[in-house]
Structure 1
Amino acid sequence: MKYIAKSLPKKGKIKNGDHFSFYEDERIQLACVADGVGGNACDWKASEQACEDLAYFYKNEFADLGVREGIAQSLRKTYAKIYWTKGPCEGMLTTLVSVAIDRQAGEYFYFGIGDSLILKFEEGKIEELTPECGFRIQPDLLPSRVKSGGPLREGTCFALMSDGISTNRKNYRQEVALVLGSEDWESKFEEIMALNQVTQFDDMTLLLLKG
């Protein structure tokens, strides 16, 4: 799958509390969006670390487990590391949403922590995959958050976003569907992000996966 993404800090804010990443190898494509909790310490570090660690732990420690179990155990370790942080960033917290595509099996998996969202776009319809949940979950329970989406159908697309996007514009679902359904989706993506900047009130991140 191809991807396009942009992350923009709130106007006047020096450090962006959002972060995104995309990792791929011969076996997996892994897309992530994170939104550090602004009322806690080091929101920028929490989101960046979560995205980077999820891929790091998978490829360095858990790749032999298979895609679903590898991501599940990487998720557990990613949040355990956040919870155990000491010093100036102690207490930092972040949302994290991710889509993992098993390239060999043709399947996908996903999870959501906090109030960031994943939308699936398929046959012209938008479906929300990740209902809002708590920001803090016991690490040993986190593997159960990883869900199977089943076989990846031709033309299926995904949108991963922080709440800076999902609560910024009333018609965000229709706008995302417009981008994903367009042949000139890169140009439409830029148009939608420019519209979001007009009314932006928070850090905002949008990552799109298009088959």
Structure 2
Amino acid sequence: MTEKFNLERFLSAQKGLYETALDELASGYKRTHWMWFIFPQMEGLAMSETAHRYSIKSVEEAREYLEHPVLGSRLKNCAEALLGIKEKSATDIFSYPDDLKLRSCMTLFCTVADEGSVFHLVLEKYFAGQLDDRTIESLNSSAATRSVINTRPDISPSNTFKVFADRVIKVGKNKCGDSFAVEFLEKEGILLLVVADGVSTCPCDWKASEVACEAVVRKFKDCQGSMDTRMVLAAGKANNAVRQIGGNCASSITSLTLATWNVNEDKIHFLNVGDSRLYLGPANDLEQITRDDVAPILLKRNGEVVLNAGIPVFMRGVTRSLGQTDPLEFEVQTRPFRSHEVLLLVSDGISKNEAFTSQFDAIVGSSDLQEKLSQFIRDNSYDNRDDATLVAVWRTGTNDMVLGEIERCLQEGIDFRTSMIGQNQILEFIKADLLIKMAEGVNSEVNTTLDYAKKFGIKFDRDFLSSLLSVAISQGTDRLLVTRFRDLIRRT
């Protein structure tokens, strides 16, 4: 059977001890130390290194454990041995706290076994059929975390920001090696953004990136402390999780780009490992704010250095990745995130794509950023030469200070970009303003606003222009304005 998880760690630990454990269970009293790898628990219920090493990370891993021809059979044998013990409680057999670990283990495997399984029977015999609450909570948390991996974010329209996230697979590949996660922790007001790019020369690039994203989200949500502390702990957790990938996917590695934003503040926190990137800035001046962890390395073919006119050929090689054997240190940085700026997290399938980099300004500065980004992803899905992932965040809300500055720009004919106003902010203001002016029939002011939009490259979508055209036609008082709207629609 093909393993997705590193179950070998259990086989190694049980070597020479499984028989001991079974004998002790048959005697009705546990005397030696084997609880963690004979009756494994869900991750996060204990903090020791041993507990972490032998924890089960997901329902999928629990299912694979149970279906394993050796491990699954041994677990059932141990559970059946417990059913044969008479007139003893779990505490009599295991003592505290191992009696709680037994309940946790039985609860975990109940979720992946058929109804009426030996695990259900052990719970009935020793715990009155009651499941372990902490294990159920951990399972629910794990499922919730997986639900945000590679899923387009569902951000409430009431929030003052928008998020776009998508990925495309390299043509000819079966699975995308990139993963992303976007989650808004509403109670804390924190937006969590993750992009991971599994290294394609490794066995399972897709597995490494998925595991990294899941580990980051789960750990960040579970731990306490400052923003920077939580980010470092989350990155460290992801690094360990990737290193523990086993089976045919062992030795897989991935990049990691992690950003967090307290939406009530004007700054972002970020860290980066590998060659995925963060860009930040206004539409016309995006800046890469992360440093690529790369260096030139000799290109070899069949073990021989490749030469060009007698000169060794070098290629760009990544020097830091999650899952590497050498220790990793994580540095969290902060940057201002102002109302007119856009934040982008991209894998190298985007940053190396000339079609995108040449259109940075046009895409990010468009009147409908969401649609432009979607269109770009669709256009490049047919001939993409690498897995590509893009996550974008921008603000849509405006405070009184920004509103006042927008009004001043319109009245004085000042370029809004010099006042640090975002294109989407002024677009939303102008659209609302035009609707009011059309309803009031002040067409001269409508033309003035349209002139401003034309001068500074503010473009409207076809549906909005069509709605204005309908109003102008129904009024029947300004044929020139009707003609202008029709011309704008043709140009859209």
Q: Does TM, normalized by the shorter one, top 0.5?
A: yes
* Partners of 1:34 and 1:116 within 8 A in 2: yes
- Choose which of 107, 114, 117 in structure 1 pairs with 2:267: 107
Q: State the structure with bigger RCO (CA 8 A, min sep 6), 1 or 2.
A: 1
Q: Deviations over 1:103-155 (max 9, x none)?
A: 3444311111111111112263110011211233655512x2x2111x43112
1:181 corresponds to which residue? Answer: 365
Identical amino acids, percent of aligned pairs: 28
- For 2:359, what is the secondary structure of its paired residue? helix
- Choose which of 188, 193, 208 in structure 2 pairs with 1:46: 208
1:147 corresponds to which residue? Answer: 333
Deviation at 1:4, TM superposition (A): 0.8
User: For residues 181 and 207 of structure 1, do their structure 2 counterparts lie closer, same or farther at Cα, with a shift above 3 Å needed?
Assistant: same
Alignment of 1:156-167 (within 5 A): 156-167=341-352
Alignment of 1:13-162 (within 5 A): 13-26=173-186, 27=188, 28-60=190-222, 62=223, 64-122=224-282, 124-133=284-293, 134-136=319-321, 138-139=326-327, 141-142=329-330, 144=331, 146-149=332-335, 151-162=336-347
* Partners of 1:33 and 1:160 within 8 A in 2: yes
* Partners of 1:158 and 1:209 within 8 A in 2: yes
The whole-number CA distance in structure 1 between the counterparts of 2:174 and 2:285 is 37
The whole-number CA distance in structure 2 between the counterparts of 1:93 and 1:181 is 35
1:192 corresponds to which residue? Answer: 376
User: For residues 106 and 126 of structure 1, do their structure 2 counterparts lie closer, same or farther at Cα, with a shift above 3 Å needed?
Assistant: closer
Which amino acid is the alignment partner of residue 148 of structure 1?
T
The whole-number CA distance in structure 2 between the counterparts of 1:140 and 1:117 is 18
More strand by share: 1
User: For residues 176 and 52 of structure 1, do their structure 2 counterparts lie closer, same or farther at Cα, with a shift above 3 Å needed?
Assistant: farther
* Partners of 1:180 and 1:210 within 8 A in 2: no
- For 1:109, what is the secondary structure of its paired residue? strand
* Partners of 2:259 and 2:271 within 8 A in 1: yes
* Partners of 2:279 and 2:289 within 8 A in 1: yes
The whole-number CA distance in structure 2 between the counterparts of 1:196 and 1:41 is 25
The whole-number CA distance in structure 2 between the counterparts of 1:192 and 1:7 is 11
The whole-number CA distance in structure 2 between the counterparts of 1:104 and 1:162 is 27
Unaligned runs of 5+ in 1: none
The whole-number CA distance in structure 2 between the counterparts of 1:98 and 1:49 is 14
Deviation at 1:199, TM superposition (A): 4.1
- For 1:120, what is the secondary structure of its paired residue? strand
Unaligned runs of 5+ in 2: 1-160, 294-318, 396-492
Which amino acid is the alignment partner of residue 58 of structure 1?
F
* Partners of 1:159 and 1:176 within 8 A in 2: no
Which amino acid is the alignment partner of residue 118 of structure 1?
L
Q: Deviations over 1:145-193 (max 9, x none)?
A: x2111x4311221111111111121x53342332222221122112322
* Partners of 1:102 and 1:108 within 8 A in 2: yes
User: For residues 165 and 76 of structure 1, do their structure 2 counterparts lie closer, same or farther at Cα, with a shift above 3 Å needed?
Assistant: same
- For 1:68, what is the secondary structure of its paired residue? helix
- Choose which of 167, 179, 188 in structure 2 pairs with 1:7: 167
Which amino acid is the alignment partner of residue 54 of structure 1?
V
User: For residues 44 and 9 of structure 1, do their structure 2 counterparts lie closer, same or farther at Cα, with a shift above 3 Å needed?
Assistant: same
- For 1:125, what is the secondary structure of its paired residue? coil
Larger Rg: 2
Two-structure CA RMSD over aligned residues (Å): 1.9
The whole-number CA distance in structure 1 between the counterparts of 2:218 and 2:175 is 23
Report the count of equivalent residues.
205
The whole-number CA distance in structure 1 between the counterparts of 2:327 and 2:221 is 19
Query: What is the TM-score of this pair, normalised by structure 1?
Result: 0.88
